[in-house]
Structure 1
Amino acid sequence: MMEETVKCKKQSRTEVCELNGDVRVHGKSATIRTAITSAFSGNTTWQMRPYARKRDSGAMNNVREWTVKLDKNAKRLENANFSRLVTNHSVPAIVFSLGGYSMNNFHAFADIVVPLFTTARRFNGEVQFLVTNKNQAWINKFKEILRSLSNYDLIHIDDENETHCFPTVIVGLKIHPEYFKELTIDSSFSEYSMSDFRRFLRDAYSLRNAAVDLRRRRPRIMILSRAGSRAFTNTDEIANAAGETGFEVVVAEASTGLASFAETVNSCDVMLGVHGAGLTNMVFLPENAVVIQILPIGGFEWLAETDFGRPAKGMNLRYLEYKIAAEESSLVRKYGRDHEIVRDPSAVIKRGWMAFKSTYLVQNVTVDINRFKPVLAKAFELLQKQSM
């Protein structure tokens, strides 16, 4: 008989409860109950939203709240107002949400995929996923990852009126305890590392290239194309400059199926893009590849380093930045060189995230090729040194 234990941990980014024993999950009422017959002096009820960005109200407003209850009396558990229709499971379960910002590619990985890996991998597939906030588009996009982490069809638990019984239920996903450590697994806090995660991705998507190997070919650069804002307006010129530097050039938009796009990314040695969610696909690059992030005007330095700069280094990728001049931004053509938005971004930033977002996240970029060529040359040089 499994020992009854309850371990709940609150961190800056997430809350996780692991319940062992006779654990019962009722989806319609969003309630999880278990009996604790041994002495227990802590809280007996928790309200939890199982999504790993808990201080962000914009995200958490789209996450269903669950109640976790500990019954000190086993009879009370038996008499709980749950459906008498019961499905018994012999494997552990993990409850997590597909709400929040899940349809943004960066948040899909940072808030769900990486935490799900760190939480579920130890079960070697013998774990049942209970998904709250049903999101079929997300499930379709990440089906290879879900299948590689669980041997069982996931359950849309919100739809379930019958009671599901498990020997273990984990509510919430484990993530790096520091709030602004994005796309990071610190092996001092986890039994896994980002190298393990990237190896897992290569297996899940059958990616061939574990590390950059240029012995028989030219280096390949992917230029990330975007529709709408933060797009390159002179992609052809950038591609020509990259070709003149010595690269084979691929221009791609991350709008195709994730499996095929992952394969294309993995075939490249450099990824080039304006700050945005598309750069998250660097997780599929081979080891020692180069990431070039273009920083628009508006004070992107902290965001760029937090979201992609530091994570790239943690993935054993080389990282370069190119900060555009004001004249390379569409905001100059829209407002003029002397407008506050162009001249003094700090004044706009002081008005808060929404002011920043509505102003600086909607610009496009016309790269000054002469200014940018040294960055391409540096990326090429880094790869050549690697292949020597």
Structure 2
Amino acid sequence: MSKMASNRSVIAKRFSWYEQKIGNWVILFYFILALSSVTLLKPYLDPLPISNLQLSMGTDHTKLVIEDTNSSQKLNLSSSLQPSVSSGEVILKQERKPICNVSDPRFDICDIEGDVRIHGNSSSIFIASSSQMDALEGNKSWLIKPHPRKGDPNAMRFIREFSVKAIVGQEEAPPCSVYHSVPAVVFSHGGYSRNLFHSFSDVLIPVFETSAQFQGEVQFLVTNFEKHLIIKFQAILKQLSNYEIIDIDSDDQVHCYPRMIVGVKFYKDLKIDPFISNGYSMKMFRQLLINAYSLKKFTAIKISPDTQEKPRLLILSRKGSRSFMNVDEIAEMAKSLGFEVVVSEGMKNMEEFSHVVNSCDVMLGVHGAGLTNMVFLPTNAILIQVLPWGGFDWVASNCYGQPPLGMDLRYLIYKIKEEESSLLQKYTLDDPVIKDPTSIHKHNWNQFQSVYMDKQNVKIDVGRFRATLLEALELLHH
């Protein structure tokens, strides 16, 4: 027994010696590895100002920005949740965010972080200090019109222009009159904004896309201020900002903000591209409208053998041009197919009319701004656009044909024939206005608008139109 114990003691000592040797080699290996890592990363980590760590949460990724106060260099440590980056992978890159982007053909925009000062009365914006100064690259001033119709001279003609200037060297910024702790967004209510379509397409949707990231903690500075439009859309604007809207053109104070976005982005009419807008979409914008107006109907009726409720059809009537000349006849035919019919020109009170639209399953109207009210329809509802005579296909598709697809709506189109147009009361079938509309307007918008939009009404052939309403009923079965 004592011999066996002695052998075990020897083995234990030998094992302990080997274990110590292995441990020493492991320690040496990790020391060499750590030394190599420090050498490789030294340009980025020396010095490391821990006090300047800023954590920014985005929709698709979490970003850690480290600012080196000695070199004005920013590092981007991004742990991405997107499929292209595996779990635990770290991306190391230098961030050089430009102050202003004037290269997009549709809009100009500045996104400034730091000490930003605006004097509205003189249309002047000063960048007193910013971490973006190192990205100036020789340009330290811009002239910006904060409206997304850059390619349309007629729309941009009266948009107020702002001078955005970075203060460098011995220059002095004007002293602050009012300090604000939240960011600001500067946008215009000019252009064609008095038209409902353009109010949504050029102002409300771009402002949503720009400001939703702040979750109400942002202030709006409006140029080309239209008080009646602010009142009309106040329920929507209040969903986006918790603060008073400032008419910046008439303001003589110097307002100072920690961040300011001058201008808004624009993708396409009544559309948002979620791939370039931080994940925002038209579905999210429509949810904002539901919240703003407390809309009750979320989904259109689904017809089944057990359905007692009738599908509800809204006919948008118009005064003046592009009106239905036989709206009563259309309504009676729709009722005979089983629709409950509502006829309305719309209402000045946006909240009241939003509830009328939201209560319906199908909305019918001739091409025009009134179709913009589709934004209030419940999910899976149907928009029927009636195209007057004259080559409306392109404009009708872009304005009201494509947008429903991004809103979870269905879309039908009814193109009238020559005999359904009031133009036949003035022109013969052989006249180029009827026979060859393209030869009349030849992509000249003013000519197109003058002849085919401003001087035409429609008288629907209810026998022919019946098939379109039957198709709508069939869609409501699914």
| Pair in the same fold by TM > 0.5 | yes
Q: Deviations over 1:234-274 (max 9, x none)?
A: 00001011111111000011233111111110000001000
Identity across the alignment (%): 49
After TM superposition, give the deviation of residue 299 of structure 1 in Å.
0.3
Indicate yes or no: 2:101 matched with 1:13. no
| Superposed displacement of residue 216, structure 1 | 4.5
**Counterpart of 2:202 in structure 1: which amino acid?**
D
Between structure 1 and structure 2, the one with the greater Rg is 2
Match of 2:19 in 1: none
Q: Kindly indicate whether the alpha-carbon contact (under 8 Å) linking 1:87 and 1:164 is maintained by their aligned counterparts in 2.
A: yes
- Residue 273 of structure 2 is matched in structure 1 by 186
Question: Within 5 A, what are the aligned runs for 1:36-47?
Answer: 36=129, 38-39=133-134, 40-47=136-143
Residue 115 of structure 1 is matched in structure 2 by: 206
The answer as to 2:459 corresponding to 1:366 is yes
SS of aligned partner of 1:262: helix
Is residue 238–residue 369 contact of structure 1 (8 Å, CA) maintained in 2?
A: yes
Instruction: Give 2:238's aligned amino acid.
Output: R
Q: Does structure 1 conserve the Cα–Cα contact (< 8 Å) formed by 2:271 and 2:406? A: yes
Any residues of structure 2 matched to 1:138-287 within 5 Å, and which? 138-176=229-267, 181-190=268-277, 191-214=279-302, 215-287=307-379
- Range 238-247 or range 207-216, more displaced: 207-216
For 1:95, which of 186, 206, 226 is the aligned residue? Answer: 186
Cα deviation for residue 6 of structure 1 reads 4.6
Q: Which amino acid aligns with 1:125?
A: G
Amino acid at match of 1:263: H
CA distance in 2, matches of 1:245, 1:53: 43
CA distance in 2, matches of 1:384, 1:250: 21
Q: Is the 8 A contact 2:117 2:128 kept in 1?
A: no
Partner of 2:394: 302
C-alpha distance in 2, partners of 1:213/1:380? 10
Residues 316-362 of structure 1 show CA distances to partners (whole Å, capped at 9, x for unaligned) of 11110000001111111122222111111010121611111100002
The answer to whether the Cα contact below 8 Å between 1:126 and 1:151 also exists between their aligned partners in 2 is: yes
Summarize the Cα distance change of 1:192–1:42 in structure 2 as closer, same or farther, 3 Å threshold: farther
SS of the residue corresponding to residue 280 of structure 1 reads helix
How far did 1:15 drift? 1.2
Letter in 1 for 2:296: R
In the other structure, the counterpart of 1:336 is 428
Displacement of 1:8 in angstroms is 2.1
Unaligned runs of 5+ in 2: 1-51, 55-66, 73-96
Amino acid at match of 1:26: H
Alpha-carbon distance in 1 for matches of 2:149, 2:115: 29
Instruction: Decide whether the 8 Å contact of 2:116 with 2:129 is kept in 1.
Output: no
Distance 1:103 1:168 in 2: 29
Check the 8 A contact 1:246/1:380 in 2, yes or no: no
Q: Distance in 1 between matches of 2:372 and 2:239?
A: 20
Distance 1:351-1:320 versus aligned 2 partners, 3 A rule:
closer
Give the one of 405, 412, 416 matched to 1:313.
405
Return structure 1 stretches of 4+ with deviation > 4 angstroms.
1-6
1:25-36 matches, within 5 Å, as 25-36=118-129
Distance 2:121 2:99 in 1: 24
DSSP 3-state at the match of 1:335: coil
2-structure distance, mates of 1:41, 1:72? 13
C-alpha displacement of 1:85: 6.1
Give CA-to-partner distance per residue, 1:216-239, whole Å, 9 cap, x none: 511101000111100001000010
Residue 66 of structure 1: aligned partner: 162
One-letter identity of the residue aligned with 1:68: V
Could you tell me whether the CA contact under 8 Å between 1:6 and 1:20 is conserved in 2?
no
In 2, Cα distance between equivalents of 1:204 and 1:290: 22
AA at the equivalent of 1:184: K
Letter in 2 for 1:187: P
**Which residue identity does 1:64 align to in structure 2?**
R
Unaligned stretches of 5+ residues in structure 1: none
Provide the TM-score with structure 2 as the length reference: 0.76
Shift, 1:62, TM fit: 2.1
The aligned amino acid for 1:255 is M
Alpha-carbon distance between aligned partners in 2 of 1:47 and 1:7, rounded to the nearest angstrom = 12
Letter in structure 2 aligned against 1:328? E
Instruction: Give the CA RMSD over aligned residues.
Output: 1.6
Q: What code does the residue aligned with 2:436 have?
A: D
CA distance in 1, matches of 2:333, 2:308: 22
